[in-house]
Amino acid sequence: MNMTLHSMNTQTEGSSKKRSTPALLAIGWLICTLVFCGLMIGAYSFPDAWVNDHVRASGERLVEEGVRPRFDPDLVKTQRDNYTEGYVLSMASHQGGHPLRSAFLNPYYDNEDALAGDPKGRITSVADGIGKPANQSYGRYWQGHLILERPLLIFMDLHGIYILMAVILGLLTLWAGAGLFRRLGWFGPVILLISLLLVDPEMIPSSTKFWYSFAIAVACVGWISWFSSRYPFDSRRTSMFFFFVGAVTVFLDFMSTPIITFMMSFAGLVLIHRGSIADLPMKKSLLIGGRHFLFWIAGWILLGLTNWLLFTAFAAGDHLNGLEILRDRMDNWTGGGGMAYRQISRFAGIGNVITTFGLPISPAMVLGAAGILSFLPGIFAPSRYRACGILLTLICAIPVLWCLILSASFYDHAWTVYRMCAGLFFTWLAGAYLLLPPLRRRGPSPRSLHQERV
């Protein structure tokens, strides 16, 4: 009788948990929406005059440097995107006296050259637009990066912000590395550092829009490693953690390298909780891993759609522009900016990303080697850690699928989006940890980490 009652109570608890998941997502969505809206309104709450001097100085420096300058003329991956920085600066200087509308429309100014399609017009518009009313809107993204950049422009110019971003990313890396060292031994911080070094970390802080995905990814790795006992692998709290990571990513990122925020934090979670994962049935481990990914996707998509709905409410239907841009990025046609449109292969974007690294072998050979590296953990991990290896192998498929879906965008912006490979490198090196017994013996006992759970 007691066993029957216990069984009934267990089933009831399980049903309750299942029923409460949509409620958790709804609460998470509501919290994020209110916080994001409040932050954006706050960023636009002070007048343009406070930032105009530093915006003008920054715009003039962009004109001196050019639209897409390179630190090394022979390396495309050292190219900076002053073109898009022009958007950022112009948005920062066009509050227009309407914080609420500006928060969702993200107005900016285009001069005649920019309206005519001249790329240089985008950066000359920054200084030209000071004191003039906005005539364009960039509301198809949240533009959450403005919550940091607009206040900072009161005190410093764009290059001062770059320096501050470099310092913050460095401190986050040290913090995350220390947390990984506690959990995995010396191998933890080493794989994090190698993953960043392989994608030219000195270039990351030189872009106000692409820096955020790396800052989020490294911060999440640190958070999971320092507070792992609060986020067991099979917990719904951990799934909600990934929901909030996805939401914050779409708020701050320019849809450039968002997937690294999931890949790096999830690979870190798998390594740290490899013992508890090994104690679960393999099917359950894979399902829980899939749930974490779906929660990240839910946060990313729900808050992205929320932004479009708010943009629609304030822009009287101009959200269609954002949908058209997304359709173009998912199409296999490339061009624009003075270039003729042409059709490309779905794999051309992947090839261009690989070519950006400047390796002396063909993209096909690199892709083949990458595929072999990706499958090694899933096939050759010790039987106890086979589920961990399969989870890491599945993560490696994410950037490939992402690149195939957004083939045109990856082809045109390969010199920037190649940095998503940081997530791939981190995952490969995490797989090496599982494959090499001497490395596994360096870290704390997985069983002891499992016993930390309350």
Q: Supply the mean pLDDT for the chain.
A: 80
Assess whether pLDDT exceeds 90 at residue 249.
yes
In 348-433, beta strands by DSSP E: none
pLDDT of residue 339: 45
| Residues pairing with 333 in the sheet | 343
Assess whether 329 and 233 both reside in one domain: yes
Same domain, 50 and 124: yes
C-alpha to C-alpha distance for 66 and 404, rounded to whole angstroms: 31
Q: Tokens 């490339």 sit at which residue?
A: 334
**Which is higher by pLDDT, 385 or 3?**
385
Instruction: Please check whether residues 139 and 57 belong to one and the same domain.
Output: yes
**Dihedral angle of Cα 95, 97, 99, 105, to the nearest 10 degrees:** -60
pTM as predicted: 0.86
pLDDT band, very low/low/confident/very high, at 332 (cuts 50, 70, 90): low
Q: Which of 152, 185, 214 is the last residue of a domain?
A: 152
- Most confident segment among 173-187, 194-208, 244-258, 302-316: 173-187
The helix or strand, by DSSP H or E, that contains position 302, with its residue range, turns out to be helix 282-315
Q: Is residue 396 part of a domain?
A: yes
Q: Show Cβ contacts of residue 408 under 8 Å, excluding neighbours closer than 6 positions.
A: 328, 329, 330, 331, 332, 333, 334, 344, 349
Task: Indicate whether 174 and 218 sit together in one domain.
Answer: yes
Whether 137 and 179 share a structural domain: no
Residue 77 covered by a domain: yes
Per-residue pLDDT at 14: 46
- The three-state secondary structure class of 70 is strand
Pair (134, 222) in one structural domain: no
**Same domain (yes/no): 165, 141:** no
The answer to the question of residue 18 being in a domain is no
* Measured distance CA(447)–CA(384) in Å, rounded: 12
- Which pLDDT tens digit goes with each residue over 202-236? 788 888 878 899 999 999 999 999 998 899 998 99
Do 178 and 98 fall within a single domain? no
> Which pLDDT tens digit goes with each residue over 354-381?
777 777 666 777 777 777 778 778 787 8
Q: Tokens 């508890």: give the residue.
A: 276
Whether 14 maps to a domain, the answer reads: no
Give the pairing type, strands 339-343 and 136-137: unpaired
Q: How big is the chain by its Cα radius of gyration, in Å?
A: 23
CA angle 155, 137, 27 (to 5 degrees): 80
Residue with tokens 């067991």: 232
> What span, in angstroms and rounded, lies between the C-alpha atoms of 416 and 452?
40
Could you tell me if residue 312 is inside a domain? yes
Judging by beta carbons within 10 Å of its beta carbon (0-12, 13-18, 19+), is residue 431 exposed, middle or buried? Answer: buried
Predicted confidence band at 446 (pLDDT cuts at 50, 70, 90)? very low
Asked if residue 27 is part of any domain, the answer here is no
pLDDT at 173: 95
| Residue 207 or 193, more confident | 193
Is residue 28 situated within a structural domain?
Answer: no
Instruction: Return all residues near 108 (Cβ < 8 A) that are at least 6 apart.
Output: 87, 90, 91, 94, 125, 129, 134, 136, 137, 138
**Of the residues 101, 132, 152, the one at which a domain ends:** 152
SS3 310: helix
**Do 247 and 396 lie in a common domain?**
yes
The answer for residues whose C-beta is within 8 angstroms of residue 435's C-beta and 6 or more apart is 376, 377, 380, 381, 389
Domain encompassing residue 270:
160-446
- How many other C-beta atoms are found inside a 10 Å radius of the C-beta of residue 359? 11
Residue 17 belongs to a domain: no
Tens-place pLDDT, residues 19-39: 578 888 999 999 999 999 999
Q: Where does the pLDDT of residue 337 fall: very low under 50, low under 70, confident under 90, or very high at 90 and above?
A: very low
Q: What is the pLDDT of residues 388-403, one digit of tens each?
A: 889 999 888 888 887 7
Q: What is the pLDDT of residues 39-82, one digit of tens each?
A: 999 999 988 889 999 999 988 898 888 888 877 777 777 778 88
Residue 166 and residue 147 in one domain? no
Task: Write the pLDDT tens digit of every residue in 97-119.
Answer: 788 888 888 888 888 888 877 88
255 has pLDDT over 80 = no
Predicted local confidence at residue 367, as pLDDT:
72
Please name every residue paired with 334 in a beta bridge, in sequence order, or none if there are none.
342
pLDDT band at 315 (very low <50, low <70, confident <90, very high): low
Single out the residue of 430, 70, 417, 37 nearest to residue 214, CA to CA: 417
- Secondary element (H or E) of residue 107: strand 107-108
Residues 175 and 121 in one domain: no
Beta strands in 304-375 (DSSP E): 333-336, 339-343
What is residue 373's predicted lDDT score, i.e. its pLDDT?
78
3-state secondary structure of 198: coil
Q: Determine the pLDDT at residue 435.
A: 82
Boundary residue ending a domain (123, 152, 181): 152
Position 10 confidence tier, pLDDT thresholds 50, 70, 90: very low
Give residue 199's pLDDT band: very low, low, confident or very high (50, 70, 90): confident
Q: Whose CA is closest to 215, among 266, 270, 188, 252?
A: 252
- Residue 131 CB coordination number (10 Å): 11
Domain count, the chain: 2
239 and 338 share one domain: yes
